């Protein structure tokens, strides 16, 4: 067990202070992008005087910025678009994979500042927080970020919430040391700044929703996540859906561990049975061409299995999008995605609208990016309209 070093910030600092109307403006700009003041006023039903005051306050906080110039023939400032500014602050996200630790920094506008990986294989959560603390110091300095602008840390945990104690999660076997942590206090007690803890697939859903642009196109989405295991996440009314017990989207329970299932571990086992000398998902890309038929057959089977889960979710929740994400190579995700197309989903009525199917651009980094987005997302979540 490592001896805890002094945290990156020894005192708790309040986040940016925003009222409900500030947050409504922020969420409108998150969904619409750069928008003229007159459109903001119309969309939110605000008087021009109130909007002028609110936007002046947001400009002073560096939460928003003006974009472009006044249009020709126009007088005054109403036609100058406002957009979210990354200068308001930044947040970090951290997660562990078998053999390495990943950290992402994201600014207030939702743009990725940097992503970082380092070797890490300890099951001790004390080693994890020590390593994250040290890397955050380095990354903040390298990226030229001010610690006074730090908005918080998101931590992604691979495992569902359980009833064995307050804020406990049943993490995967190789993180058995994390199972007795009180997640509501362990991280904040060490770091001294706000920390949010969430399931890894749920955070991947948040990252994909932002990165894909779906945040401006639909208010709900289902995520299917293929990593070493299989999981999922749900976006509902542009917010993360956690469920009654914190396990919304836990589709892994639909696929028995002893049977073939749509997971990275299952794909590795399938390739080994076919004669591949492969030891981890790191090596997967080197075997795609050599065992193309095996991978395609597995992708077809995995796609059919996930199609069942997706079709069930679509029937219950009627989402605007289904997102396929995970740490598997993009060609594998795309092959699986071919079997998730709406045409394959059963429906008694052919005239029903189907969600768009989106394959991730972030890949395995979606978890760390989503963890970094969570503090920023939560900062204005109660302003979602």
Residue 8 is predicted with a pLDDT of 38
Asked if the model's pLDDT at residue 349 lies above 70, the reply is no
What percent of the chain lies above the pLDDT cut of 90?
68
Asked if the model's pLDDT at residue 385 lies above 80, the reply is no
pLDDT digits (tens, 9 = 90+) for 195-225: 999 999 999 999 999 999 999 999 999 999 9
- Lowest-confidence region among 67-81, 156-170, 319-333, 349-363: 67-81
pLDDT digits (tens, 9 = 90+) for 269-302: 999 999 999 988 888 998 999 999 999 999 999 9
The rounded Cα 213 to chain-centroid distance in angstroms is 13
Asked if the model's pLDDT at residue 12 lies above 50, the reply is no
Greater confidence, 378 or 8?
378
Residue 161, sorted as left (phi over 0), alpha (psi -120 to 50) or beta, turns out to be: beta
Place of tokens 């009525």: 349
Domains and CATH numbers, the chain: 20-87 (1.10.10.10), 89-204+368-383 (3.30.420.40), 215-360 (3.30.420.40)
Asked if the model's pLDDT at residue 38 lies above 90, the reply is yes
Asked if the model's pLDDT at residue 172 lies above 80, the reply is yes
160 close to 169: Cβ distance less than 8 angstroms: yes
- Lowest-confidence region among 120-124, 165-169, 251-255: 165-169
Q: Which of 366, 247, 234, 224 has its CA nearest to residue 305?
A: 224
357 close to 341: Cβ distance less than 8 angstroms: yes
With a CB cutoff of 8 Å and minimum separation 6, the contacts of 375 are 15, 91, 151, 152, 153, 154, 194, 196
> In 172-216, at which residue ranges do the beta strands (DSSP E only) sit?
195-199
- The average pLDDT across 161-173 equals 81
Q: Which of 18, 107, 356, 344 has its CA nearest to residue 217?
A: 356
> In the chain, at which residue ranges do the beta strands (DSSP E only) sit?
35-36, 64-66, 81-84, 90-97, 99-107, 112-120, 150-157, 161-162, 168-169, 195-199, 220-226, 230-236, 239-240, 321-326, 356-359
- Lowest-confidence region among 27-36, 64-73, 121-130, 322-331: 64-73
**Alpha-carbon distance 104 to 381, whole Å?**
21
Which tokens go with 315? 């029937």
Phi, psi of 171 (to 5 degrees): -70, 165
Is the entire prediction scored with pTM above 0.75?
Answer: yes
- The average pLDDT across 159-180 equals 85
Residue 5 is predicted with a pLDDT of 36
């Amino acid at each position: 067990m490592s001896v805890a070093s002094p945290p990156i910030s020894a005192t708790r600092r309040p986040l940016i202070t925003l009222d409900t109307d500030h947050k409504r403006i922020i969420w409108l700009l998150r969904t619409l992008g750069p928008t003229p003041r007159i459109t903001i006023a119309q969309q939110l039903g605000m008087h021009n005087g109130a909007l002028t005051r609110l936007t002046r306050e947001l400009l002073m906080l560096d939460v928003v910025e003006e974009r472009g110039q006044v249009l020709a023939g126009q007088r005054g400032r109403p036609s100058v678009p406002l957009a979210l500014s990354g200068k308001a602050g930044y947040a970090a996200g951290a997660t562990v994979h078998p053999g390495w630790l990943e950290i992402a920094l994201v600014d207030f506008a939702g743009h990725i500042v940097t992503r970082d990986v380092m070797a890490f294989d300890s099951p001790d959560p004390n080693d994890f927080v020590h390593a994250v603390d040290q890397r955050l110091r380095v990354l903040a300095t390298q990226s030229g970020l001010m610690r006074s602008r730090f908005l918080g840390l998101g931590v992604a945990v691979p495992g569902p919430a359980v009833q064995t104690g307050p804020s406990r999660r049943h993490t995967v076997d190789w993180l058995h040391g994390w199972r007795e942590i009180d997640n509501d206090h362990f991280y904040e007690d060490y770091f001294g700044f706000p920390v949010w803890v969430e399931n890894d697939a749920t955070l991947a859903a948040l990252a994909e929703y932002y990165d894909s642009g779906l945040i401006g196109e639909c208010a709900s989405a289902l995520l299917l996540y293929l990593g070493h295991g299989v999981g999922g996440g749900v976006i509902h009314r542009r917010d993360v859906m956690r469920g009654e017990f914190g396990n919304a989207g836990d589709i892994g329970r639909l696929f028995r561990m002893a049977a073939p299932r749509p997971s990275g571990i299952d794909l590795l086992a399938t390739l080994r049975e076919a004669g591949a000398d492969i030891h981890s998902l790191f090596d997967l890309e080197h075997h795609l061409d050599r065992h193309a038929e095996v991978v395609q057959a597995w992708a077809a089977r995995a796609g059919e299995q996930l199609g069942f889960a997706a079709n069930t979710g679509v029937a219950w929740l009627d989402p605007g999008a289904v997102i396929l994400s995970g740490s598997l190579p993009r060609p594998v995700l795309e092959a699986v995605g071919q079997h998730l197309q709406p045409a394959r989903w059963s429906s008694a009525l052919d005239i029903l609208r189907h969600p768009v199917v989106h394959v991730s651009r972030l890949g395995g980094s979606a978890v760390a990016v989503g963890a970094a987005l969570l503090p920023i997302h939560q900062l204005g979540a109660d302003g979602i309209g």
